[in-house]
Chain A
Amino acid sequence: MGIQESGRVRNEPSPGNSSVSGTAKGAEPPLIEVCGLAKSFGQVPAVVEVDFEVGEGELFGFLGPNGAGKTTIINMLTGLARPDAGSIRIAGIDCSLDPKAAQHLVGIVPDESNLYPELTGFDNLCFCGALYGMKKKAREARGRDLLKEFGLSEAAGRKFGGYSKGMKRRLTIAAGIIHEPRILFLDEPTTGIDVSGARQIRRVVSDLHGGGTTIFLTTHYIEEAERLCDRIAFIVSGRIIRTDTVERLIEPVLERHVMHIAFSRRVPELDEKLASAFPRIECCVQGEGLVRIEADEPVRVGPIVRFFEEQGVEVTEARRMRPSLEDVFVRITGIEAEAMRKEKEKMGGGV
C-alpha cells in the first residue's frame, strides 16, 4: 500500500488547488513550461492537472513519495510517455506535438542505471555521445574528461556490468551529460547509493548547476532537495501541492520553536498528559522514547524535564531543532519523511 493510500495524506487538495505558487526565476522565458499535464494508467490517475515552469540555469526539484507521479512526469517531458492532456514546451518547442523535437537539448539520468553491461565504461560513454551525433574525436575526449571528473578513470576499461552500484550511478550521470545538454533530468539520483557515493553525486549536481545547466531533479530525500534545489514542488498523488523557493517554503515554520526530547522509557498516554500540562505547545510522540515539541514561543526545558520526572521517567536528551523543509513538507502533505524513506527502502533503494 502506498503512503498516500494509507490515509496519512492530510490537506489533500482538490484538482483546483494544484497550483503554481512559485515561478521560474528571472525575466527570461522559462526553459520548461508545463501546463495542465495529465496522465492515467487505465482508471488510475498518475498525474493530475500539473502546471510548473523551470527557468534557464535553475535547479528545480520534485519532492514526493513513491507513486507520486515524479517519474511519469519525467517520462512525459522526455518523450517516453504520452500525456493524456496538457502541454509541454521545452526551450519554446512544443513537445506535446513532437516529443522528439527537443530531445537533443536534454540529458536524462533515469532512476535505475541503464547503460550496457557488456560494454566498458568508456565505450558506454562514447556510445551515448554518438547517439547525440557527437563525432568520434569529440566524444572520446569528452568521455575521458568525464571519467576523470567522476573518479572512474581507472575503471574506464572495465565492463559496466562489473561496476559497483555507486560507480554505475556516477557513470550513468556522466552518460547523461556527455553531449552537454541544456537541461538535465535527474530521477532519484542518490537512491540506493551509500553515504559517500551520495555525497559525491550531490557535489557533481551542484557543480553542474554552478556551470549553468538547468537541472530537473526528483527525489524523496527532503534534505537532498533542501540542500540542492533553488525551487521545489511538493507532489503527492499526481498533484503538485505547493511550488516555491526553499526559503519561502520554510518561512512559515521559521517562527516556530521545535525541540526533541529523548527519554528512558515509554509513558502511557504521553500526548494527552503533555497537552493538559502544557496547553500552549504541540507535541508529537515519534517513537518509544522520543517526543517532538513545537510552540510559537521559546520552549523552556526545565518544566518539561520536571514533568517527565513526575512520570518516573528520566530525560536523556533535550535538543533544540532548526525548523527544516521536512517540517513544511510534513505540515503540507501530512507524510512523514521517515515513512517516505522506509517506503523507498522497501522498494530496494535507500541511502
Chain B
Amino acid sequence: MREWIAFWNILVKDMRAYYLKPPNISWGLIFPLAWTGMFFVKSGGEVSSVMSLLPGVVTLSILFGTTSMLAVTVTFEKRNRSFERLLLAPISLELLMLAKTSGAIAFGVANAFVPIVMGAFLADLSGVAWPSVVPAVVLIAVASAFLGLFIAVSVSEVFEAQTFSNFFRFPMIFLCGLFFPIEKLPTFLKPLSYMLPLTYGADILHGAFSGSSVLPPVADFGLLLLFCLLLFIVSLKNVRTRWIL
C-alpha cells in the first residue's frame, strides 16, 4: 500500500509538472496534426488513403509523445539530483521506474487518439478492429516509453538525451513500415526493420485498420511485449550499474 502511494504520487507529480504543461499539450496536439496533414496532402487528399495513413501517424504520435518528454525529464532530474530522492525512497526500483514511465505512457496513449479522432471526421472507421487497436496503442506506448527510459539512463546530459532520441526515432519512421511497406525496403535493411519494436506495433495497426498485416497478431503482440520487457530490464540494469555506483 505504502509503495502504491509513492507510485501514484510520482505519476501525478510528473503529469502535473511535465506532461500537462501547455507547451507539451500543444506539442502533443500539433505534432500528430502536422503529420496527418502532411501525409494526407501528399496522398492527394483522397479519403481512401486515410486508412492506410492512420497506423503510421498513430504510431509516430505515440513514439514522439512518449520519448520526447521522458528522456529529457529523467536526465534533467538526474542532473539536478532530484532523482536521488526517488532512489532513496523505500520503493523498489522496478516500481519507481514504472511510475516514472506511466506518465509518458498515458501521454502517448492520449496522443494516439488525436489522429484517430481526426481520421473519424475524414473516413468511416466502423470497420476498424478496435479490440486490436486499443491494446496495440497501449503496448506501443509502453515500448516507446521504455525506449525513452533506455535513452535517459544511457546518457548524462539533457542535450545528449535529445540527440540520442533522434538517433532512434528518425530511422524508425522509415524502417518500421509506418508509411512505406517493409517489403519495399532494400533487402539489407529488412533485418534491421525486424529488430525495431515499432515494426510490430505498426503491423498490428495496419491489420486492424486495413487488414494488411504481415505477421499474425499474436506474433506481433508477443514480440512487442518481448521488446518492452527487454528495454525495461536493460534500463533497470543501467540504473543499477551507472547510477548506483
Which residues of chain A have a CB within 8 Å of any CB of chain B?
Answer: 41, 75, 78-82, 99-100, 103-104, 106, 108, 110, 112, 114-119, 127-128, 130-135, 175
Contact = CB atoms under 8 A, between A and B. Distances in A.
B81 A132 contact: no
A135 B5 contact: yes
Contacts of B41: none
Interface string B111-140: 000000000000000000000000000000
Contact of A119 (B17, B84, B86): B17
Nearest to A179: B90
B244 A131 contact: no
A135 B1 CA distance: 10
Contacts of A127: 9, 13
B80 A132 contact: no
B88 A116 contact: no
Nearest to B80: A114
Contact of A114 (B6, B8, B84, B90): B84
Contact of B90 (A75, A80, A117, A133): A133
B103 to A, nearest CB: 14
A80 B244 contact: yes
B195 interface: no
B244 A115 contact: no
A99 B85 CA distance: 15
A42 B2 CA distance: 38
A128 B90 contact: no
A114 B91 CA distance: 19
Of B2, B9, B88, B89, most A-chain CB atoms within 10 Å: B88
A133 B6 contact: yes
Contact of B89 (A99, A131, A135): A131
A132 B90 contact: yes
A112 B84 CA distance: 11
B34 to A, nearest CB: 28
Contacts of A41: 245
B3 interface: yes
Interface string B142-162: 000000000000000000000
A161 to B, nearest CB: 10
A133 to B, nearest CB: 3
A75 B244 CA distance: 9
A214 B92 CA distance: 25
Contact of A110 (B6, B81, B92, B93): B81
B9 A116 contact: no
Interface in B2-60: 2-3, 5-6, 8-10, 13, 17
B78 to A, nearest CB: 11
B80 to A, nearest CB: 7
A115 B82 contact: yes
Nearest to A133: B2
B88 A79 contact: yes
Contacts of B80: 114, 117
Contact of A116 (B82, B92, B244): B82
30 contacts: A41-B245, A79-B88, A80-B84, A80-B87, A80-B245, A82-B244, A99-B244, A100-B91, A100-B93, A103-B89, A103-B90, A104-B90, A114-B80, A115-B82, A115-B85, A116-B13, A117-B80, A119-B17, A127-B13, A128-B85, A130-B5, A130-B6, A131-B85, A131-B86, A131-B90, A132-B2, A133-B1, A133-B6, A133-B90, A135-B5
B6 A131 contact: yes
Contacts of A99: 244
Contacts of B245: 41, 75, 80-82
A103 B81 contact: no
Going nearest first, the 6 A-B pairs with the smallest beta carbon separation are A133-B2, A130-B9, A131-B89, A114-B81, A104-B90, A103-B90
B88 A78 contact: yes
A80 B84 CA distance: 8
A41 B86 CA distance: 24
B87 A133 contact: no
A122 to B, nearest CB: 13
B243 to A, nearest CB: 8
B16 to A, nearest CB: 9
Nearest to B4: A133
B84 A116 contact: no
Contacts of A81: 244-245
A114 B88 CA distance: 12
